[in-house]
Amino acid sequence: MMTGATFTRHWEIAWRGGQARSTSRLVAEETAIALTYNGSTHAVMMGTPADLEDFGIGFSLTEAIVERRSEIRSIDLIPNELGIEVRMWLDGDRAEALAARRRAISGPVGCGLCGIESLEQARRTPTRVEGRGVAFPARDLLNAMQALSPLQTLNQHTRSVHAAAFWSPRSGIGPVREDVGRHNALDKLAGAIMPDGGSACDGAVLLTSRVSVEMVQKAAMIGVPVVVAVSAPTALAIQTAKEAGITLLAIARDDGYGVFTHPRRVLLPDEAAPRPGC
């Protein structure tokens, strides 16, 4: 659901090849998005004003505020002069659990990890994914990443947003979600593919960003067995992917990628079965 323009045209002086000229370009919109539950604000993110219902649902799922979409009784998008409120009302049990979680917070939290009260929660044990018998040909995963760029509609216009997409050998790529924030894009994707608490155990998440620990944690909550990213992972992201049972592929370029964890799910051209010990 759109709640406003996702890009606008702005004037610029372009200096290229030693020459200057007056021109204009399309620029991605960024706005404040408040995620509220039962009348209280839980987090405020800067993001792209598109697919915000998916964002609210996906954030609620990946942050373990709910386990399934049905636990969100209602969701409304309320624009105002300062941004957009994603207003959600939770079922009784979930509302009480979130209220208790808020009461435990003793002080302000930093950007990036919302609504947590301890280092233990920041480094929480990831959800263990299924997909034990899933394996994909190496070339299929590379082809999926190469096919993603033309589907990034907003990025085609602005060259300034991240994308998260779901791929499966059965249905190809879809859906694709974009945002100026990489976490937001992944949350929007979660909301799009997990409306009723289902999982994504038969495919892979494709990311156009680097892989940090939060991205792996969110992927684990989605239940996806394979994550493929354009950029490099952090050391903690690799460790978390190992613990979660996620196959992590990164630094995906036109000629290939690196497999950092659980390589049994990647069928390289010269192998017919998983390698012993993997």
- Catalytic residue positions? 111
Q: What is the DSSP letter of 104?
A: T
Q: Which residues pair with 222 in a beta bridge?
A: none
Phi-psi region of 38 (alpha: psi -120 to 50; beta: other; left: phi over 0): left
Nearest residue to 244 via CA among 232, 262, 258, 260: 262
Q: Which residues of 91-120 are buried (b: 16+ CB within 10 A; e: fewer)?
A: eeebbeebeebeeeeeeeeeeebebbeeee
What whole-number distance in Å separates Cα of residue 123 and Cα of residue 213?
9
Say which amino acid occupies 265: R
Helices 182-193 and 213-222: crossing angle, nearest 10°? 0
